[in-house]
Structure 1
Amino acid sequence: MRNPPTKVQTKLSNIALFDDDDDEQLVSDSQILLSDISLPKQQPRRYFDPDKMQELKESISHHGILEPVILRPVATGYELVAGERRFRAAKELELETIPAVVHQLTNEQAYEIALIENLQREDLNPVEETEAILQILALRLALTEKEVISNLYKMRVTPESDRDESLTAIATKLISIFDSLQTVKWESFVVNRLPLLNLPTEVLEALRQGQIEYTKATAISTVKDADLRQALLSETIDQGLSLAQIKEKIRELKSGQSSDKPVTLKNRFVDSMQKLKKSPVWNDQKKHKKIEKLIAQIEALAIEVEA
């Protein structure tokens, strides 16, 4: 016998995309076959922490799935809108069904709900949060992400009194969206979050996967040499270097004192000359003959090369 319609409340039910009358969705069957559910082509989440996934599977094994996933009907059955971790865990545990709420949603609505669910994660890192917020802003304003970024920077450098009508209108909408998301203020987003997206690829990926904190990532990114930067990144991850240790190693790299940095003959010569200029050797008459001999050898070598 089929279960009677059940009212299921989800933590996403207060999203403005759902109609007021749809806050508590009537579900004809609260359990949906996993085989009838497909993943969307566009998914905001790229990385799933293996340890967190294992914890979730253990929780589901003991307590079941406590919160339903959100689906929308498609031609082949249902498409997952929110709850991908629960869906993946259920499949790995070889469950047959999963509790679900079904909503009629457009592509844009479904993707925005997925983005908002992503923002509500406890383990969300700064890169994922930045990318999700930027995508939500683009969706709600019907702009490209580049256009959103451009307008945010214009807001940052243009006083309210000097903004034209177009920028004022967009600024009002942007501020309203940031207020509704309740994650970060728009000024902080521009100053502290957007620059994260310009980090070197390998540093950005390590930050996205939660291997390092964003303060460490921004410090490591100041190393311009790609090989040295990768070496420092790997050492930070493998040895759990603190921010202070990272900064010390960067100072060593930039001063040429790190044993890991390739040292050219030219660099050695320049460093030696700098040290010699500051040395007290010039006050030692006994050393002058050695210095004269070295200078003569260098001058002779220079003449030989020019010839």
Structure 2
Amino acid sequence: MADKVQRQRGLGRGLSALMADVNDRPDANPATPRQPDYMVPIEQVVANPDQPRRRFDSDLLDDLAASIKEKGVIQPLIVRRKGDGYEIVAGERRWRASQKAGLHQIPVIVRDLNDTEVLEVAIIENIQRADLNPVEEAAGYIQLMQKFGHTQEKLAEALGKSRSHIANTMRLMQLPEIVQNFVTEGKLSAGHARSLITAKDPVTLAKKVISGDLSVRDTEKLVRKASEAGADRRAVTSKAGQKTAEKSADTRALEDDLSANLGMKVSVDHKDGAENGAITISYDSLDQLDEICRVLTTGT
């Protein structure tokens, strides 16, 4: 019950307060670096085992290490006390690069954060990184909404992004994992991937896009052509001599909007001219089922 109440109201500190802690990125304002609370031995600092980001580009780490060798760590890491040492809240890349650079001490700012706040800050920091791929970004938005009860509007305001950007990015999670991997590996752009969301067989089309080095516009044409061909095959004559109608463009657009808002696949079955129909929401985990229940019971 206590967990449910916390998820409904969000964290007591509020997203804005946590954002103030996260805005210590090296690219935030290098001309005015924040003053550290302490210089601590690097061996006393450990990574957060629940850090949602697992991949760190080795080339980028080498570049950052070279910069640190020359200029030092410009922006301090944000940490919390953990036993006799410190656990990283934000700044793990700088910590890893500092190790590569052979530093013995690093600057830190100490914050008193609980486990939930640490996870939230880590997700926000990852979302704000310039080198984050679109699928990781989408996963971060969904985590913030499902774990902490934030809305798209609240995220847009706090992160300085448009609501449509957040909604369109979250739609990428509707794609099969293999297509998401193509985006993560840089084989497909976010624009290519968004074009494939409505496709009946996005995996096959994604492979055609990659092999043919197609532009986003060409990808849209490919999806449209495949959709028209599929409609022709599915339009079979019924016993009454009538053809099965495809969903209208308005219905598909409504499905996309609802799916983007929920972060889950939504299907709307509605016949043109009718007043009734059905909405089907597909969830992949019990956490997503819990999120559906929360939205339906709170209306947020």
TM-score w.r.t. the length of structure 2 is: 0.55
Q: Which residue of 1 aligns with 2:142?
A: 134
Please state how far the C-alpha of 1:253 moved relative to its aligned partner. Answer: 8.0
Residues 58 and 206 of structure 1: is their aligned pair in 2 closer, same or farther, counting only changes over 3 Å?
Answer: farther
- Matches of residues 240-259 of structure 1 in structure 2 within 5 Å? 241-244=214-217, 246=219
SS of structure 2 residue aligned to 1:113: helix
Cα distance in 2, alignment partners of residues 26 and 255 from structure 1? 60
SS where residue 16 of structure 1 aligns? helix
Conserved? CA contact 1:203–1:217, under 8 Å: yes
Note if contact 1:65-1:98 (Cα within 8 Å) is conserved in structure 2. Answer: yes
CA–CA distance in 1 between the matches of 2:202 and 2:145? 35
Tell me whether 1:117 sits opposite 2:125 in the alignment: yes
Equivalent residue, structure 2, for 1:80: 88
Contact between 1:34 and 1:96, CA under 8 Å: does it hold in 2? yes
SS in 1 for 2:109: strand
Is 1:202–1:230's contact at 8 Å kept on the other side of the alignment? no
Matched with 2:179 is 203
Instruction: Tell me how many residue pairs correspond in the alignment.
Output: 203
Alignment map for 1:8-19 (pairs within 5 Å):
15-17=16-18
On the 8 A contact 2:62/2:100 being kept in 1, the answer is no
* C-alpha contact (below 8 Å) 2:36/2:108 kept by paired residues: no
Which residue type is aligned with residue 208 of structure 2? L
Q: Offset at 1:178?
A: 3.4
- Structure of greater Rg: 1
Alpha carbons of structure 1 residues 177 and 242: separation in structure 2 relative to 1, 3 Å: closer
Can you list the C-alpha shifts for 1:205-227, whole angstroms capped at 9, x where unaligned? 2323444311112345637275x
The aligned counterpart of 2:113 is 105
2:130 aligned partner, one-letter code: E
Instruction: Find the counterpart in structure 1 of residue 190 from structure 2.
Output: 214
Letter in structure 2 aligned against 1:89 = A
| Aligned residues of 1:47 and 1:209 also touching (Cα < 8 A) | no
Runs of 4 or more consecutive aligned structure 1 residues displaced over 6 Å after TM superposition: 23-26, 248-256
Q: Which residue of 1 aligns with 2:170?
A: 194
% identical equivalent positions: 30
- Post-superposition CA distance 1:92-118 (Å, at most 9, x none): 233222211111210011111112222
1:1-307 superposed matches below 5 A? 15-17=16-18, 27=37, 30-75=38-83, 77-141=85-149, 175-185=153-163, 189-190=166-167, 192-219=168-195, 222=199, 224=201, 226=203, 228-229=204-205, 231-232=207-208, 235=211, 241-244=214-217, 246=219
Q: Distance in 2 between matches of 1:118 and 1:249?
A: 33
**Residues 183 and 53 of structure 1: CA distance in aligned 2, closer, same or farther (over 3 Å):** same
- More contact order relative to length (CA 8 Å, sep ≥ 6): 2
Q: Which amino acid aligns with 1:33?
A: P
Give the residue type in structure 1 aligned to 2:106. Answer: I
What does residue 274 of structure 1 align with?
A: none
**Structure 2 Cα separation of the partners of residues 140 and 223 of structure 1:** 33
User: What RMSD over aligned residues (CA atoms) do the two structures have, in Å?
Assistant: 3.6
The residue identity in structure 1 corresponding to 2:111 is: H
Residue segments in structure 1 that go unaligned for 5+ positions in a row: 1-13, 142-147, 149-172, 257-307
Letter in 2 for 1:138: Q
- C-alpha distance in 2 between matches for 1:58 and 1:121: 19
Residues 216 and 81 (structure 1), Cα distance of their counterparts in 2 relative to 1, 3 Å cut: same
- The Cα offsets for residues 212-271 of structure 1, whole Å up to 9 and x where unpaired, read as 311112345637275x456436536xxx54334556776898999xxxxxxxxxxxxxxx
